[in-house]
């Protein structure tokens, strides 16, 4: 296997006495889309912010492209990019002006050509002269995606990029991400609490709960591990019960977990939570 793009070694983030991320170790392989999954407050954004150098870990170390993040931050950021539903590009500027500025910040040559390619890819070439603040949520997300691909990043961090999109737009965005990943072989770290996102986009998933890794593997591995039919059911079960299946009891133990899950499902409150779950869908998981 080629050297990993990113390695986080036991990173912990404490805010005062509160531990937001607890001794998290993970790695991203070249060309891999890794999903960081978890309920609100699980520590996904905090973990990503540490990997971007926006937060300094209380403990642990991070290597990106084989280099230490604290020592080579600017060098690493040149080949990285970021796209989040929780930021905006300056609303007064026109779309092309924002892309021009970010292209220059990342030292992109031939920025006009690059901009046109990306606008075309995201199907928004007609928005080039529009004022950024006037874009709809879907248009704005696609502009963000253009911005985050300007420098042809080796590593792309996306914090809930589909959070404010309708299902149709979310689908388009997922396809675009898949497309870019296939074409350019970039590595992506993708946080979400939308299970559709994760099942469709991610090659592998790290399931965070209260700052710790609950389990990790392909979406199928995880479903088997929890003996659930969909990731959504897994998610709801974890959200409601804080069901801490010990990490490391991974895929091999799937059968055991399945047996346990059935046992749990037959007893009172847990069972109700699990069976009522599919009807509730995203309603209580999608507020942020």
Partner 1 sequence: MINFGVIHALVLRYLYLFTRTPIRLIELLFWPIVQLLVWGYLTTYLQRNTDAEFSGFITFLIGAVIFWDVLFRSQQAVAIYFLEDVWTRNVLNVFVAPIRTVEYLGATFTVGIMRTALTVTILSLISYGLYHFNILSLHWALFPFVFNLLLFGWSLGMISTALIVRWGPAAETLAWATPFLIQPFACVFYPLSELPAWMQWISASLPATHVFEGMRAILKTGELPVTNLVWAFGLNAAYMAGAGWLFGHVLKVARIKGLLTKFASQ
Q: Which residues bind ligand ADP (CB under 6 A)?
A: 15, 18, 20, 38, 40-46
Residue 74 interacts with partner 1 (CB under 8 A): yes or no: yes
**CB 229: neighbour CB atoms within 10 A?**
10
State the nearest-atom distance from the C-beta of 263 to partner 1, in Å: 41
How far is it, in rounded angstroms, from Cα 57 to Cα 46? 10
Q: Does 118 bind partner 1 (CB under 8 A)?
A: no
- Considering the complex, what minimum distance in angstroms separates the CB of residue 112 from ligand ADP? 36
**Among partner 1, ligand ADP, Mg ion, none, residue 271 binds (CB under 5-8 Å by kind):** none
Which one, of 209, 191, 183, lies nearest residue 117 by Cα? 183
- In DSSP terms, 192 is beta-bridged to 37
* Residue 41 CB, nearest approach to Mg ion (Å): 8
Of the candidates 138, 131, 123, 125, the residue with the CA atom closest to the CA atom of residue 95:
131
From residue 26 to residue 45, what is the string marking binding to Mg ion with x (rule CB under 5 A)?
------------------xx
User: Given candidates 75, 123, 272, 284, which one binds partner 1 under the rule CB under 8 A?
Assistant: 75
- Give the DSSP letter string of 2-57: PPPSEEEEEEEEEETTEEEEEEEEEEE-TT-EEEEE-STTSSHHHHHHHHTTSS--
Report d(CA 141, CA 83) in Å as an integer.
8
Determine which helix (DSSP H) or strand (DSSP E) holds 83, and give its type and residue range: strand 80-84
Which lies closer to ligand ADP via its Cβ, residue 94 or residue 204? 204
**Judged by CB, which is closer to partner 1: 33, or 158?**
158
Overall residue count recorded for the chain in this entry: 288
Is 77 a binder of partner 1 (CB under 8 A)?
yes
Instruction: List residues binding partner 1 (CB under 8 A).
Output: 15, 45-46, 49, 52-56, 74-75, 77-78, 80-82, 84, 86-94, 97, 100-102, 104-107, 131, 147, 157
């Amino acid at each position: 296997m080629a050297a990993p793009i990113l390695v986080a070694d036991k990173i912990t983030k404490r805010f005062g006495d509160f531990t937001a991320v607890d001794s998290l170790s993970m790695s991203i392989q070249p060309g891999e889309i890794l999903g960081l999954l978890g309920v609100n407050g699980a520590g996904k954004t905090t973990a990503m912010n540490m990997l971007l150098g926006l937060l300094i870990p209380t403990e642990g170390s991070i290597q990106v492209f084989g280099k230490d993040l604290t020592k080579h931050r600017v060098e690493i950021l040149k080949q990285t990019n970021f796209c989040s539903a929780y930021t905006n590009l300056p609303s007064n500027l026109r779309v092309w002006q924002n892309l021009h500025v970010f292209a220059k910040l990342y030292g992109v040559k031939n920025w006009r050509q690059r901009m046109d390619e990306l606008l075309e890819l995201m199907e928004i070439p007609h928005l080039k002269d529009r004022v950024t603040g006037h874009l709809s949520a879907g248009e704005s997300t696609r502009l963000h995606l253009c911005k985050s691909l300007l420098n042809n990043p080796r590593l792309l961090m996306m914090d809930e990029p589909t959070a404010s999109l309708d299902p149709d737009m979310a689908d388009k965005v997922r396809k675009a991400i898949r497309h870019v990943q296939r074409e350019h072989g970039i590595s992506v770290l993708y946080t979400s609490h939308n299970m559709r996102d994760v099942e469709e986009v991610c090659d592998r998933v790290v399931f965070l709960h209260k700052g710790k890794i609950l389990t990790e593997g392909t979406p199928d591995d995880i479903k088997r591990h929890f003996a659930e039919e969909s990731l959504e059911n897994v998610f709801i079960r974890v959200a409601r019960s804080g069901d801490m299946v010990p990490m490391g009891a991974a895929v091999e133990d799937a059968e055991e977990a399945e047996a346990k899950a059935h046992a749990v499902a037959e007893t009172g409150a847990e069972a109700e939570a699990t069976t009522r779950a599919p009807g509730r869908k995203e309603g209580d998981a999608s507020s942020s």
